[in-house]
Structure 1
Amino acid sequence: MIRIAGLGLAGLMLAACSGQAETGGTAQAIGAVGVAGTATTPGVPAATVAFLPAGGDQLSPKDPIVVKASGGTLQAVAVTNPQTGNGVKGELSPDKTTWTSKDNLRYGATYQVVATAVNQAGAATEQRGEVHTIKPSGVATPALFQPASGDFGVGLIIGLKFDRDIADKATVEKSFKVTSSPAQDGGWYWVNKREVHYRPKDYWKAGSTVKLETTTFGMPIGGGLYGGQDVSASYKVHDSWIAKADGKTHQIKAFHNGQLVKTAPTSMGKTADTPPRGPTPTFNGTHVVLGKEAHKIMDSCTYGVCEGDPGYYSAPENWNVRISADGEYLHENLKTVGVQGSDNVSNGCLNMNTENAKWFFDNFNAGDVVEVTNSGGPQLAINNGHGDWAISWSAWQAGSALRG
């Protein structure tokens, strides 16, 4: 809401303009304000000041505050939030008749506006007012699934996670914008009520740039919620690195930009019911590299088998390339060298010897792809790291709120 106050101001104007559908109401005077500067020259009207938008018990924090002068020019404009002491930045038009705020406002805040205009004779008029922004029942703020920028492989998954359930997914999804160069067909998929991912139909093209922008801030998004602060991201897709691991042949092959550059024997997760833990097959499907650590202590307690339990282990492992959230890695394991290339005996990881594990560690990075087939395990889930590529394109499209 904007309230204004003035005293002895000739032709005082408060202009109205259309805002969001939920705004309404009229401005109210809240007291007297003195007039600074020289006396009014006979025959020269005093300058008047209007605050726009004028209507509304509550204003969207995304909409700008606009101060306009008539019969003169603006000399000074100050907009502050007395609750925080912060000022709001703005920009004056070339003819000095209009000032427009450039910062997003806060929800549920009161802003004090003080504007001074001078008429053609140099007489000054000061105008004061208040802006009240909407106070929603809740605010849902998105966080990036990945860092805001970086270099990734062709399996890059873009994602957002809100801190509240989203009731109107379609409205929210419409507010997202993903652009890529070169252009590639892609779409959003809602993992649950809070999390949504984006990927193209096929792997990203090597050398692509990919940008994400959200515009949910200030929007009603259902259930009384409004969108929180927007986020943006920019990514660079590096050369294509794709590994194909076959649990039947016990071989892992690496392709650089489509060319086979490495073949190595491996041992995947065991499918036999071997005590004390039973089968621990590697997940089938397309995995994406999440990160890597040169040296790491692998501890079975991370999946519930802790010290004192049958099958507990805690062992140092080298050249670890992580490919799932629940602890699948490509890494060195000297204890299984004798069966690498012939049998699957691991706890789910892809074991290799030192030379081969180091080669994959040196060449595979975040966003690169590891396709696992014939492992004997279930398909990798979308919430187990970046299992998005294991979902067919038709099923992915059906996961969009705009296709329901």
Structure 2
Amino acid sequence: MFPKKTFFPLAGILAATLLLSACSSGDGGGDSGTPGSPGGSSQTATPASVTIEPANASGISPTTPIVVKAANGKLTDVTVTSSKGKTVAGEFSPDKLSWKTTEVLGYAGTYQVKAHAQGADGKTVEQQGQVTTLAPKKQANANLIPAPGAVKSTGVGVGQPIVFSFGAPVKNKAAVEKALTVESSPKQDGSWYWMDDKNVHYRPKEYWQPGTTITVTAKIYGVDFGDGVYGAEDRTETYKVHDSWIAKADGSSEQMQIFHNGSMVKSMPISMGKDATPTHLGPHVISDKQANYTMDSCTYGVCPPDPKAYRSDEKFSERISNDGEFVHENPNSVGQQGNSNVSHGCINLNAANAEWFFNNFGLGDVVEVTNSGGPQLPVWDLYGDWSKSWADWQKGSALQ
């Protein structure tokens, strides 16, 4: 007897075959399912996120840039708007992963930040924030001496210091000095010297070279001067140094020799300060010139009935210190010019020499005084900058 055979339905065999086919990849490899699909990973793409720096900050410096960054996506737009409705300029990085402001903010301002980014999942996210800048108790300007406009056509002499006179006392001198730069072409070594809490002077190691271009920059906006005072605004100015004019006044010979670009071109008889009011020794720098000028000793505190007091109208006057020393015409001392010193401290010339000197010497030009019997011109006496050795001058910097 033959064994009994078992028969399977055809439909069941076909179903089993289809099930096996669905469990394998078309190329014989591994899992080809997509995230979240049957047989695939359960993970989904991470959504984009946006951060704002500084985040919801208050009292920041207006020079601190607002930076917006995106993660797991790219920024699509960023807007920073002031409380007055002004849009602040900014720029994206090439990869659009970040954005930052490209203009400084204002003092005591509130700024609204709104940013959008699109993630790999195609969805857009938004981030908002607010930034508030500090409110100074006072703002200080950086006033330049000499005024750039006053010497634009004439240039300055080789002895001219560059002076910043600030509108308020500076407590944080090092911070302010770091914001000041002087670039000269051709290049010359130079340094700053703080005369007091408001005035800082810059001079090179030696006199400026004729023809030098001097570019002066004060990036003080946002700089903390101390005691609630901040810099008002940045400024950049340029000076041009003209030919070298140096006068050498000798109290022993009572002669003044004139040097133009290093060569002596003239000598003239002079009368300097008498024993009771001797002319200061050392290099002096011309700070002002007036064809007609009333000299009054009261302007520096010497008033009648003091026997040293005086008041007189003079011609062709050029100031060389802040305590009443000038080079000028004096017809009353012509008989003593070349043989004795009889002035109140000025350098007296006859009419022809005074006019010639006036026509050739200007702001920043130098008068070097020797053998006058007087004390050294103080460094603080307007432009007594050259009375200091280079080593001592450098010690006046707040960065030493």
Deviation string 1:96-141 (CA, Å, 9 cap, x unpaired) is: 8865433322333222446688999x99988754321134566555
Letter aligned with residue 350 of structure 2 = N
Counterpart in the other structure of 1:101: 101
Aligned to 1:193, the other structure's residue is in SS state coil
Matches within 5 A, 1:58-137: 58-66=59-67, 77=79, 79-82=81-84, 88-91=88-91, 100-113=100-113, 129-135=129-135
Distance in 1 of aligned mates of 2:78 and 2:56: 23
The change in CA–CA distance for 1:237 and 1:76 in structure 2 (over 3 A counts) is same
Letter aligned with residue 237 of structure 2 = A
Aligned to 1:77, the other structure's residue is in SS state strand
Asked whether the 8 Å contact 1:112–1:131 carries over to 2, the reply is: yes
Aligned to 1:103, the other structure's residue is in SS state coil
Residues 1:241 and 2:238 aligned together: no
Deviation string 1:287-345 (CA, Å, 9 cap, x unpaired) is: 11112111122233323455777665443211111111222211111111111111111
Distance in 2 of aligned mates of 1:188 and 1:311: 35
Residues 1:340 and 2:342 aligned together: no
Deviation string 1:187-233 (CA, Å, 9 cap, x unpaired) is: 22222233222111111111111222233433445566555433333
Distance in 2 of aligned mates of 1:368 and 1:354: 20
Distance in 2 of aligned mates of 1:148 and 1:101: 32
Moved more, 344-353 or 172-181: 172-181
Distance in 2 of aligned mates of 1:87 and 1:383: 47
Letter aligned with residue 199 of structure 2 = E
Aligned to 1:282, the other structure's residue is in SS state coil
Aligned to 2:340, the other structure's residue is in SS state coil
Matches within 5 A, 1:133-148: 133-135=133-135, 141-148=141-148
Q: TM-score, normalised by structure 1?
A: 0.74
Residues 1:382 and 2:379 aligned together: yes
Moved more, 286-295 or 302-311: 302-311
Distance in 1 of aligned mates of 2:305 and 2:316: 28
Asked whether the 8 Å contact 1:90–1:99 carries over to 2, the reply is: yes
The change in CA–CA distance for 1:244 and 1:87 in structure 2 (over 3 A counts) is farther
Matches within 5 A, 1:202-351: 202-220=206-224, 226-271=230-275, 279-306=276-303, 313-351=310-348
Letter aligned with residue 102 of structure 2 = K
Deviation string 1:244-288 (CA, Å, 9 cap, x unpaired) is: 0111111111101100011111111111xxxxxxx2221111111
Letter aligned with residue 143 of structure 1 = N
Letter aligned with residue 262 of structure 2 = G
The change in CA–CA distance for 1:158 and 1:81 in structure 2 (over 3 A counts) is farther
Letter aligned with residue 376 of structure 2 = Q
Aligned to 1:105, the other structure's residue is in SS state coil
Asked whether the 8 Å contact 2:295–2:312 carries over to 1, the reply is: yes
Asked whether the 8 Å contact 1:154–1:204 carries over to 2, the reply is: yes
Letter aligned with residue 401 of structure 1 = A
Structure 2's unaligned 5+ residue stretches are: 1-45
Counterpart in the other structure of 1:159: 163
Q: TM-score, normalised by structure 2?
A: 0.75
Asked whether the 8 Å contact 1:77–1:99 carries over to 2, the reply is: no
Asked whether the 8 Å contact 1:75–1:118 carries over to 2, the reply is: no
Question: What is the Cα deviation at residue 243 of structure 1?
Answer: 0.6
Structure 1's unaligned 5+ residue stretches are: 1-44, 272-278
Question: What is the Cα deviation at residue 355 of structure 1?
Answer: 0.9
Identity of aligned residues (%): 50
Residues 1:176 and 2:180 aligned together: yes
Moved more, 134-143 or 325-334: 134-143
Moved more, 217-226 or 175-184: 217-226
Asked whether the 8 Å contact 2:50–2:127 carries over to 1, the reply is: yes
Aligned to 1:177, the other structure's residue is in SS state strand
Counterpart in the other structure of 1:26: none
Asked whether the 8 Å contact 2:297–2:324 carries over to 1, the reply is: no
Letter aligned with residue 288 of structure 2 = G
Distance in 2 of aligned mates of 1:182 and 1:62: 32
Asked whether the 8 Å contact 1:74–1:97 carries over to 2, the reply is: no
Distance in 1 of aligned mates of 2:353 and 2:76: 71
Distance in 2 of aligned mates of 1:227 and 1:300: 36
Asked whether the 8 Å contact 2:77–2:117 carries over to 1, the reply is: yes
Q: Aligned-pair RMSD on alpha carbons?
A: 3.5
Distance in 2 of aligned mates of 1:225 and 1:92: 33
